[in-house]
Amino acid sequence: MTRENSSLSEPMQVDPAITLALAYARKDTRPVFEDLFALDRRLADAVRQASEPIIAQLKLAWWRDRFAQSPSEWPKGEPLLARLAAWDADVSQLGTLVDGWEALLAEGPLSNDAAIAFAQGHADAWSVAACALGRAGPPSPEHAAQLWSYADLAEHCSSPEDAERARAAARSQNLFDAASPRLPRDLRPFAILGRLAHRAMLGEHPMLSTPGDFLAAVRTGMLGR
């Protein structure tokens, strides 16, 4: 794999799939989704933009330390932290999202363990967001989160070989054996992203890159699956 610091290539841009998914969020729930993806972008930028792995690790450690603290101890002046502190959920579990991003900093080709840690971190984070939206019980968004994580990782890998390793890691978790459970209306954006990710992984193409993808997203946005 060709890389210096991580398995990833260019800095994250505005994601059309996320933009489309957020269009189906209720007005009162949209802020939680926006906070979640803003945090993910901050962590992604820490990994992709750092000139040295140690710099990325230091940035990620700052976030990990915050999630190890009570929100009442968080420093003032960081708007994203202030928004996350308002979540009615155990935000300490967002620390595994940080761990997932840090796993991508390991030297050498993308490993199965790193890809799985990346997906699990997102699954945990999406579950925390679901709790913040009052949807702590089943059905869980974890399956959709894992699908989206692997698809997003494959899409942004710095080499075709690492992209295939990301897809292989998803297959090793048997994620394609069953469809994601139908999620409640409040979690509709997660359902859309899971659906787009499933299509992308099976077709080995970027999410929302074909007319069929858009139609599938609209259908899921309207019907839930």
Which domain range does residue 81 map to?
16-223
CA separation, residue 188 to residues 4, 185, 218 (Å): 37, 5, 11
Indicate whether 47 belongs to any domain: yes
**Cα–Cα distance for residue pair 130/133, rounded to 1 Å:** 5
Residue 157 pairs in a beta bridge with: 8
Indicate whether 130 belongs to any domain: yes
Indicate whether 58 belongs to any domain: yes
Range 108-121 average pLDDT: 95
pLDDT higher than 80, residue 9: no
What CATH number has the domain bearing residue 137?
1.10.600.10
Structural domain count, the chain: 1
What would the two tokens of residue 123 be? Answer: 């699954």
Counting Cα atoms < 13 Å in the Cβ hemisphere of 122 gives 29
pLDDT of residue 43: 96
**Cα–Cα distance for residue pair 89/135, rounded to 1 Å:** 10
Indicate whether 39 belongs to any domain: yes
CA separation, residue 120 to residues 10, 13, 141 (Å): 23, 23, 12
Range 35-54 average pLDDT: 90
Name the average pLDDT for the chain.
Answer: 90
pLDDT of residue 13: 53
Indicate whether 138 belongs to any domain: yes
**pLDDT digit string (tens) for 170-223?**
999 988 877 778 899 999 999 999 999 999 999 999 998 988 999 999 999 888
Indicate whether 191 belongs to any domain: yes
Indicate whether 10 belongs to any domain: no
